[in-house]
Amino acid sequence: MTEDHPLNRDEMLAVLDWYRAAGVDIAVGEEPVDRFAQRVPNRTAPAAVASPVTAVDSPAVRRAADSASEGPTVLLGGDPAEARALAASATTLEQLEALLGAYDGCGLKLRATQLVFADGNPQADIMLIGEAPGAEEDHQGKPFVGKSGQLLDRMLKAIGLDRTRVYIANTVPWRPPGNRTPTPEEMALCLPFLHRQVELVAPKIVMTLGGPAMQTIFDTTAGIIKMRGKWSTLSIGSRQVEAIPTLHPAYLLRNARAKEQAWADMLSLRMKIEALGLDG
């Protein structure tokens, strides 16, 4: 666009299409802002913010702290210590949902339509944890209701489960713009709420879906292909659970051959439910 030749309608639509293909699907303001014209202050991440980040020793938090020290313009949003205190103060899932809904520490909330807290049965013995809501989840306010959710439902059905028998949440409860992977900072800020959610649901089994959810819950930097299908006994908050990572349904939609591995993991889940004598 030049000043003497504004874009016509077709050209504007073409630009919007291009933005959408690049993952830019949300307007954050009415007026365009020329960020290049703004001066970027040359500052390092403030020590006052960095210290609570390093106060909890976990890969997610260490990755957040590392990325804060990587460059001069990285800003951390909220304070993980505040997130932990807030999450710990919830004594019911309803309170936790309300606290999370009012929590402004994680920047993802700004661009999401709404909080996507959970779906399924809060009394279930089995909890599934995904990565982050997508467009359809953001629209409906429930996890796994888009295409990957439909596949997840079929995977559950194949081993005799459905959403009345499992509880479903995500590592972050707001949709990242353009469906990008949540950053380590975003996951670290939401993690205390997820841990509290696990404590309040008190499942016996946790299944994580995809690499980022596995890394967050299993507190590891290992890859999903190596880790999937392996059971561990994990302490999540004050709870001990049997936990297994599997592949993300969205990955299975793109890689049909990997369904065989996911099927083995689902059968392993079925066997664990039976071995523990659970109502699943």
Shortest Å, Cβ 68 to ligand URA: 25
Q: Which region, judged by CB under 6 A, interacts with ligand URA, from 86-94, 125-133, 195-203, 267-275?
A: 125-133
Shortest Å, Cβ 113 to ligand URA: 13
Residues 215-274 binding ligand URA (CB under 6 A) are: 250
Q: Count the site residues for ligand URA by CB under 6 A.
A: 13
Q: Could you say which of 78, 80, 107, 133 contacts ligand URA (CB under 6 A)?
A: 133
Shortest Å, Cβ 45 to ligand URA: 28
3-class secondary-structure state, position 151 = helix
Shortest Å, Cβ 57 to ligand URA: 26
Handedness of CA 66, 133, 141, 261 (dihedral sign): negative
Asked whether the beta carbons of 137 and 149 are under 8 A apart, the reply is: yes
Shortest Å, Cβ 11 to ligand URA: 34
Residues 136-175 binding ligand URA (CB under 6 A) are: 137, 143-144, 146, 148-149, 170
Query: Would you say 144 or 193 has its CB closer to ligand URA?
Result: 144
Shortest Å, Cβ 83 to ligand URA: 20
Geometric angle at alpha carbon 92, from 89 and 97, rounded to 5°: 80
What DSSP string describes 44-82? Answer: PPPHHHHHHHHHS-SHHHHHHHHHHHH-TT----S-HHH
Query: Would you say 87 or 168 has its CB closer to ligand URA?
Result: 168
Max Cα separation, the chain? Answer: 74
Closest CA to 194 of 167, 221, 220, 176: 167
Residue whose CB is nearest to ligand URA in the complex, by number:
130
- Return the half-sphere exposure (C-beta side, CA atoms, 13 A cut-off) of residue 85: 7
Q: Which region, judged by CB under 6 A, interacts with ligand URA, from 102-110, 124-132, 199-207, 239-247?
A: 124-132
Shortest Å, Cβ 129 to ligand URA: 9
Query: Would you say 120 or 130 has its CB closer to ligand URA?
Result: 130
3-class secondary-structure state, position 114 = coil
Closest CA to 185 of 116, 115, 88, 106: 106
Question: Which phi and psi (to 5°) does residue 60 adopt?
Answer: -60, -45
Q: Which chain residues interact with ligand URA by CB under 6 A?
A: 130-134, 137, 143-144, 146, 148-149, 170, 250
